[in-house]
Structure 1
Amino acid sequence: MDGGGRLSRSVRPLRPQADLKMAALGAGILLREQLSPLARFWARFRAAKPAVREQSSNRFIATLERYAPRRVGIAATVLMLTGSLALGVVKGNHVDEMVEAFSDTRNAAANAAGFRIASVILNGRKQLTQDEILAIGGVNGRSSLFFLDAAAVRDKLKANPWIADANVLKLYPNRLQIDVTERTAFALWQEDGRLSVIADDGAVLENYVSRRFMSLPLVVGKGADSGARDFLALLDRYPQVRSVTKAAIFVGERRWNLRLKDGLDIRLPENDVGNALAMLSKLDKEDRLFSRDIVAIDMRLSDRLTVRLSEDAAKAREDLFKAQDKSKKKAGAA
C-alpha cells in the first residue's frame, strides 16, 4: 500500500498470454520435479535419437534392477511357466486327467496314513448290486475316507433313477455306510414304439426291458407314465377285468382304453370310469361278455353300451336274420 492507504499497482502492464505461459512453464517444472526417476528416464529415452537409445536402454535396465523388488525375475519366470502349463492343459483337454491325477495322489497319501476304506456297510439295496451303487457314487479302490465328499456321493446316488433317497456316513478311520431307498419297478410304458420300465411315480428306471420285468402291466401313450398309478389302482378293484387285460392305453391324455389278451378293445368313458369297470365285471360274470365273438366294446356314452361283432359273428348274425325272414314269409304264405 502507498502512504495514502491505497493499494499499490504494478508499474508493469498486464500481459495475459505471457502470464499464462509462465504459469504453464512453472507447473511443468514442478511436475517434472515430482516425476520418479524411472518416469524421467522414460521421457528422455523417448526424446533421444536412435543412436543414443541403445546406451539408454542399458541405463534403464540398471535403474529397473535398482528399484524393482528382489527375485522378481524368478517370480516372473515361474509365473510364465505356470501360465504356459495351464494353457497347454486347457487347450489339450487334459483338465479332467490333471484333476484325477491330483485326486489320486491326495487319496494315496491319506490311504497311507490309515484312512483307506476297509469296509462298506450298505443298507436298502434290492435291485442294484453293491458294485453298481459304489460305481454310481464314484467310490473306488483308490478312494480314501478322509477326502471322500459324502454330500457329493449322496447327490450322485440320488441322480440315479433307481435311487429315491440316499444317506452317506463316514465312520472314521476306515468304514463307509451308505443307506439307500430304491424305487420299485411298477409298470412298462410304451410311447412312440419305445418301451421303458417305470416306477409308480412315472420315473423312467430303464430304457430297455429285461426278462425279469416282462410280467409287469403295460401302459401305452403320452402321459400314461404319470397316470398309470391311479388308473391301475382303480383297475385292481375289479379283478374280473384286470385278469384279462393286456394293456391300458391312454388316449389324448384324457381317457383310457383297455386291450384284452384275446384282442378285444374296450373304450372307457372319460368320467365315471369306476362305474364302467363295474358294469364290465358284472356283464362278464353273468353273460360271459369277454368270451363272446366280439372285437370292440364302446362305453364312452353314459346311457348305452355298443358292441361290435367280429366279421364271422356279423355274417353269422346276418345269415340268421335272413333265415328268420324266410321262415316268416313261408309261414305267411301258408
Structure 2
Amino acid sequence: MRSLIRRKTRTEYHSVGASRSGKTAAGQGARRDPAPSRLAYKVHRLWLTPLFRGALRVGLPVGAVLLVVGLYLSNPDNRAAIMGSVTKVQRSIQERPEFMVKLMAVEGASPVVDDAVRQMLPIDFPISSFDLDLEAMRQQIAQLDVVEKAALRIRPGGVLEVAITERDPVIVWRHDGILDLLDRTGHRVASMTARNGRPDLPLIAGMGADRAVREALELIATARPLGADLRGLVRVGERRWDLVLASKQRIMLPANDPVSALEQVIALDQAQEVLSRDLTVVDMRTPQRPTLRLTNPAVEELRRIRGREFGEDPS
C-alpha cells in the first residue's frame, strides 16, 4: 500500500514539475528580444557620424535658405529692385562731401603744358573721387612728349594734384626740314619753327642722330675750346659724326672712339693752328693717319710754290 502511495506521489510530482517547466518555457518564448533591428542599427551608427550630424544641423538649414533666396532672385523684378537699392546706397556713400573733388592743381609744369594737361583732362567738377581713374589719367598725360614723369593724387580738401616733371631739352635736331628739341636720352621734347628759337642749344643733323645724343653731347663738350666756331654735328651713315665749323670746315671723325680723335685735332690746332689754315676737311676716320684737304686756292698756291722750287714755269 505504501509503495503504491509513493509511486502515485512521484508521478504527480513529475507531472507538476513538467507542467511548471512547460509554463516557464512558454513564458520565456513570449518575452521581447532586446537586440535592435538591422535598420535601427544602421540608422544609429549613421547618427553617430560627425559629418552626418553636421550636415543635418547646418547643411539642411543652409540649403533651405539658399533655395528660398534662389527662388526669390529668379524673378527679374526682384533682382532689379535689389540692384537699385545697392546702387543708391553706394552713390550716397561715394557722394559724401569728404569724397568729392572740387578742383585740379597742376604742379611743376610750364603754362603751355599746364594748358595742355587741362585740355586732356576735361573733368566736370565737383566729382566723386571714386569716379576718377588716376592711373588711366596718368598714362594719358605721359603721352605728351614734354612730360618725363607724371604723378596724380587727391589732396585733403578735395584737390586733384597733378605733379609734372618736364623733359629738359639739351640739343636741337634738324631732319627732313624739321627742327626738334631733344633731351639727353634722345627723346623728343617739342618742335621748333626756327633755329633762333633756341640759339643757346647745340645743333645736330642727319638720320639717326637722335639715337646718339649722348655721344654728340660728349663731342660738343670736347669741342668747347673751338668756341663759337662750332656750328654743329652731322650724322653720317647713321654710324659716325662730322663736326662742322663756321668756316665750313669739316672734321670727319671715326665711328669708334670719336672723342679721342677730336682731342687730337684740337691739340694739333692749339700747337700749330691747323684749323686757321686754308683747309676744307680734316679727315680723322683713320686716327693713325690724319688727312688734310686744302681749298682750291691753297692747292694752286702749293703748286706754284713747288713749281718755283723745281724751276718749272708757273703758267
Which blocks of at least 5 consecutive residues in structure 1 are unaligned?
1-69, 73-105, 329-334
How many Å apart are 1:129 and its aligned residue?
4.3
Aligned runs of 1:1-334 on 2, under 5 Å?
Answer: 115=100, 117-118=102-103, 120-126=104-110, 128-136=112-120, 138-140=121-123, 142=125, 144=127, 146=129, 147-209=131-193, 211-241=196-226, 243-326=228-311
**Quick one: distance in 2 between partners of 1:246 and 1:217?**
8
Q: String of CA shifts for 1:276-302, please: whole Å, max 9, x gaps.
A: 111111111122222211111111123
Which of structures 1 and 2 has the bigger CA Rg? 2
How many Å apart are 1:222 and its aligned residue?
1.9
Q: 1:258 to 1:157 in 2, by over 3 A?
A: same
Q: Which runs of 4+ in 1 moved over 6 A?
A: 110-114
**Any conservation in 2 of the 1:145–1:173 contact (CA below 8 Å)?**
no
**Any conservation in 2 of the 1:235–1:242 contact (CA below 8 Å)?**
no
**More deviation in 140-149 or 178-187?**
140-149
Q: 1:143 to 1:242 in 2, by over 3 A?
A: farther
Q: String of CA shifts for 1:47-94, please: whole Å, max 9, x gaps.
A: xxxxxxxxxxxxxxxxxxxxxxx9x9xxxxxxxxxxxxxxxxxxxxxx
How many Å apart are 1:151 and its aligned residue?
1.8
How many Å apart are 1:112 and its aligned residue?
10
How many Å apart are 1:154 and its aligned residue?
0.8
| TM-score, normalisation: structure 1 | 0.58
Residue 241 of structure 2 aligns to which amino acid in structure 1? W
- Number of positions where the alignment pairs a residue of Structure 1 with one of Structure 2: 225
Q: RMSD across aligned C-alpha pairs, in angstroms?
A: 3.4
**Any conservation in 2 of the 1:111–1:144 contact (CA below 8 Å)?**
no
**Quick one: distance in 1 between partners of 2:99 and 2:288?**
78
Q: 1:209 to 1:141 in 2, by over 3 A?
A: farther
**Any conservation in 2 of the 1:241–1:280 contact (CA below 8 Å)?**
no
**Quick one: distance in 1 between partners of 2:147 and 2:264?**
40
The percentage of aligned residue pairs carrying the same residue is: 25
